[in-house]
Chain A
């Protein structure tokens, strides 16, 4: 079945450590996204990528980094510069931005990061 796989599902990190969240899709989607979800705040866009080796900052990119070396993969690194990293992180993918299929996002099951 096609879909998006995020790992790990749960992750604990000590302050000052970097951590990388994995996101893999087999939908042949060109665009991929990372969102952060906090209770009562909805989803906020961290980074997105429309093609391999290219990505753009979203609304809350500070303290995060991404790479897009393969179409199927879009890992997110939460760096020690992120001041409040405890959150639920969602990866998503979609068809190209400039198509009617854009914004019909397929989401992964999420990764819950807790900083101890």
Chain B
């Protein structure tokens, strides 16, 4: 079975400071990893994904994430937080297709608050 853990329910960061939202995963085989963002009363929006290749993945709105296989982590980062980054962030994982894994498993979400 595949699973995702987002250990922090909420992260507070001052505007202009770097931010990190943590994610660890468990899956059989090589993982497919994703970050999505949700603004209040809206659907989720895709931010970035890791399929293979470079461990540092760059995505939308200046976000990036680093895949660390040994630590089974895929933390979301941004060098300088904006107030408009305040939202709910979801990490998601899927196992390899050859293992019959087609669906994403989402974490419970981390609420990011950027303080002016």
Contacts and interface: CB of A to CB of B under 8 A. Distances in A.
**Size class of A's contact patch?**
20 to 34
A42 B92 CA distance: 10
B51 to A, nearest CB: 6
Interface string B56-75: 00000000000000000000
A107 interface: yes
B29 to A, nearest CB: 15
Contacts of B106: 42-44
Contacts of B42: 109-110
Of B51, B102, B109, chain A has the most CB atoms within 10 Å of the CB of: B102
A104 B103 contact: no
Contact of A109 (B9, B43, B46, B109): B43
Interface residues of B, number: 23
Interface in B84-116: 90, 92, 94, 97, 102-104, 106-109
Greatest chain A CB density within 10 A among B42, B90, B103, B108 is at B103
The binding surface of chain A is classed by DSSP as loop
Interface of B: 9, 32, 34, 36, 41-46, 49, 51, 90, 92, 94, 97, 102-104, 106-109
Given A43-B90, A104-B49, A105-B104, 6 more contacts: A42-B108, A45-B104, A92-B44, A103-B34, A107-B44, A110-B42
The 10 closest A-B pairs by CB, nearest first: A107-B43, A42-B108, A43-B106, A42-B106, A97-B102, A107-B44, A109-B43, A108-B43, A103-B104, A104-B46
Interface of A: 4, 6, 40-45, 48, 58, 90, 92, 97-98, 100, 102-110, 112
